[in-house]
């Protein structure tokens, strides 16, 4: 801790908490804070929003102060924890604002829009001597440990690779809900709000944790294919291959994702072994183990809430589930997406518009993309490789962007192009 950092008082529950960003996904955090307050673990003391919450929105929180100024709010309330769920390009500055005032941080994913910003944040958190948890909720699932134990015990033989698949749908209103939605950059600042880095970021982050190669130094190579059907800057239909090398050996993760699904479904990670496979539906905490000569086994697992884990870390010394360094490999992916060429626009005959109920509900659907996503995870192939791997032909796919040379590159060398 630097000499200028505040000396924190003893940590006792309930911990006073401020939430920055209480609308959109922030409503989930608002409900979670209410739930943990009922258990006596936290005390909501402040809401940071550009437009104050109405009485009905803040119901059940008690007498909380509201302000658009996070620094002033933290100083007036003496909050010990700041939950930050704001636009991606504001994450680092707000996390450091909290850290400089002695508040520990729960930060929504992705933690930063570039690797340089991620490093700046990590350095600042370390200098302030505060804890930080990154909001990859799937990494709180006990299923992750269970799957790693199955792999270590040889239940599916030697791991051949890990696939990840996500087929979701987002309508026009999703892309117009805020100025930063679907943007690669805004007003000269990186945003990188694409399908791989934000909505379906959990697919890659979960696969990296299962692989054991989730730190920045574990990544050896990244191949990207970025596409878009919607009239946005960022990717909405993409795939990636990440290769890792770490104490547990080497790994290969191939993820195929889209926000233009015909029939949206639950995203999953599948571990392919020489003697079987393990499939993990990470939003449901459900695992299916398939082995040769045996009936499939399905199990459901508990999940540790990340804010609760942060409180336990501060009070009892419990290990953090998702400290920043355990998201370093994911941030290598964010940097690769940031510095890659602009996503390739899909031809108009590759997608169609499906009308919805209500204004702004129409959405673009990429024909056959559900099968392509599933095939990518099954065959561990990028879209451009599917035909050669025995899968469907993808006429609009082009070979992966060669970004492997950027892995391990110093933070300031990205082109931003």
Domain residue ranges in the chain: 15-130, 142-299+322-390
Is residue 343's pLDDT more than 60? yes
CB 287 within 8 A of CB 302: no
pLDDT in tens, 23-42: 999 999 999 999 999 999 99
Is residue 350's pLDDT more than 60? yes
Is residue 7's pLDDT more than 50? no
Say what the alpha-carbon torsion angle 298, 302, 303, 309 is, to the nearest 10 degrees.
-150
The Cβ-side half-sphere exposure at 403, using a 13 Å CA radius, reads 27
User: What was the pLDDT predicted at 360?
Assistant: 61
Give the pair of three-digit tokens for residue 244.
């890792």
Which residues are paired to 19 by β-bridges? Answer: 47, 83
User: What was the pLDDT predicted at 60?
Assistant: 83
Q: What average pLDDT does the segment 320-331 reach?
A: 98
Question: Does residue 148 sit in helix, strand or coil?
Answer: helix
| Kind plus residue range of the DSSP H or E element containing 151 | helix 142-152
CB 362 within 8 A of CB 370: no
Q: Calculate what percentage of the chain has a pLDDT beyond 70.
A: 93
User: What was the pLDDT predicted at 252?
Assistant: 98
Backbone angles phi and psi of 295, in degrees to 5: -70, 145
| Kind plus residue range of the DSSP H or E element containing 209 | helix 201-211
Please, which pLDDT band fits residue 404 given cuts at 50, 70 and 90? low
Q: What is the DSSP letter of 303?
A: B
pLDDT in tens, 202-240: 999 999 999 999 999 999 999 999 999 999 999 999 999
Q: How far, in Å, CA of 194 to CA of 340, rounded?
A: 12
Is residue 80's pLDDT more than 80? yes
User: What was the pLDDT predicted at 408?
Assistant: 39
Is residue 133's pLDDT more than 60? yes
Is residue 106's pLDDT more than 80? yes
Rounded to the nearest angstrom, the gap between the alpha carbon of residue 223 and the centroid of all alpha carbons in its chain is 19
Look up the pTM and report it. Answer: 0.93
CB 25 within 8 A of CB 108: yes
Q: How far, in Å, CA of 170 to CA of 364, rounded?
A: 8
User: What was the pLDDT predicted at 59?
Assistant: 87
Is residue 372's pLDDT more than 90? yes
Rounded to the nearest angstrom, the gap between the alpha carbon of residue 361 and the centroid of all alpha carbons in its chain is 25
Q: What average pLDDT does the segment 104-132 reach?
A: 98
Rounded to the nearest angstrom, the gap between the alpha carbon of residue 139 and the centroid of all alpha carbons in its chain is 10
Is residue 369's pLDDT more than 50? yes
> What is the chain's Cα-based Rg?
21
Give the pair of three-digit tokens for residue 169.
């749908």
User: What was the pLDDT predicted at 402?
Assistant: 67
pLDDT in tens, 240-299: 999 999 998 899 999 999 999 999 999 999 999 999 999 999 999 999 999 999 999 999
Is residue 406's pLDDT more than 60? no
| Kind plus residue range of the DSSP H or E element containing 244 | strand 237-246
pLDDT in tens, 170-209: 999 999 999 999 999 999 999 999 999 999 999 999 999 9
Backbone angles phi and psi of 410, in degrees to 5: -65, 155
Is residue 64's pLDDT more than 80? yes
Q: Calculate what percentage of the chain has a pLDDT beyond 90.
A: 88
CB 41 within 8 A of CB 15: yes
CATH number for the 15-130 domain, one of 3.40.50.720, 3.20.20.30, 3.30.1540.10, 3.50.50.60? 3.40.50.720
Please, which pLDDT band fits residue 316 given cuts at 50, 70 and 90? very high
Q: Which of 125, 19, 126, 133 is nearest to 82 (CA)?
A: 19
Backbone angles phi and psi of 255, in degrees to 5: -120, 135
Which residues are paired to 288 by β-bridges? Answer: 279, 298
Range name among 5-19, 106-120, 325-339 with the lowest pLDDT average: 5-19
Q: How far, in Å, CA of 159 to CA of 1, rounded?
A: 42
Q: How far, in Å, CA of 103 to CA of 79, rounded?
A: 6
Q: What average pLDDT does the segment 71-95 reach?
A: 98
Q: Is 3.30.360.10 the CATH classification of the domain at 142-299+322-390?
A: yes
User: What was the pLDDT predicted at 330?
Assistant: 98
Question: Does residue 55 sit in helix, strand or coil?
Answer: coil
């Amino acid at each position: 801790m630097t000499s200028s950092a505040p000396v924190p008082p003893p940590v006792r529950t309930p911990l006073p908490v401020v939430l920055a960003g209480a609308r959109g996904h922030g409503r989930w955090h608002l409900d979670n804070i209410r739930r943990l307050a009922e258990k006596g673990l936290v005390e909501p003391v402040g809401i940071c929003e550009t437009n104050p919450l109405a009485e009905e929105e803040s119901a059940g929180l008690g007498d909380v102060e509201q302000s658009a100024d996070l620094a002033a709010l933290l100083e007036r309330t003496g909050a010990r924890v700041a939950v930050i769920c704001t636009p991606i390009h504001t994450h680092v500055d707000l996390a450091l604002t909290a850290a400089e005032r002695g508040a520990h941080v729960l930060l929504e994913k992705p933690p930063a829009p570039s690797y340089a910003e991620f490093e700046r944040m990590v350095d600042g958190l370390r200098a302030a001597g505060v804890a930080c948890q990154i909001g990859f909720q799937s990494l709180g699932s006990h299923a992750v440990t269970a799957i790693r134990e199955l792999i270590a015990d040889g239940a599916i033989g030697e791991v051949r690779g890990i696939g990840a698949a996500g087929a979701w749908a987002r309508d026009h209103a999703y892309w117009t809900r805020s100025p930063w939605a679907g943007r690669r950059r805004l007003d000269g600042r990186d945003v990188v709000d694409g399908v791989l880095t934000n909505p379906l970021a959990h697919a890659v982050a979960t696969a990296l944790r299962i692989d054991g190669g989730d730190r920045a130094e574990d990544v050896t190579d990244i191949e990207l294919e970025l596409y878009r059907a919607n009239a946005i800057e960022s990717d909405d239909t993409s795939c990636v291959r990440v290769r890792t090398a770490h104490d547990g050996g080497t790994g290969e993760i191939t993820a195929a994702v889209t926000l233009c699904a015909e029939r949206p479904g639950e995203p999953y990670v599948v571990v392919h072994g020489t003697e079987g496979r393990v499939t993990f539906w990470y939003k449901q905490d459900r695992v299916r183990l398939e082995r040769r000569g045996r009936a499939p086994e399905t199990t459901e697992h508990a999940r540790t809430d990340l804010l609760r884990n942060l409180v336990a870390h501060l009070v009892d010394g419990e290990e953090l589930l998702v400290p920043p360094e355990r998201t370093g490999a994911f941030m290598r992916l964010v940097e690769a997406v940031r510095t890659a060429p602009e996503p390739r626009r899909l031809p108009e005959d590759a997608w169609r518009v499906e009308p919805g109920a209500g204004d702004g509900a129409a959405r673009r659907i990429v024909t056959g993309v559900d099968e392509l996503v599933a095939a990518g995870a099954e065959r561990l192939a990028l879209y451009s490789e599917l035909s050669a791997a025995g899968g469907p032909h993808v006429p609009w796919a082009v070979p992966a962007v060669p970004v492997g040379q950027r892995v391990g590159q110093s933070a300031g060398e990205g082109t931003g192009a």
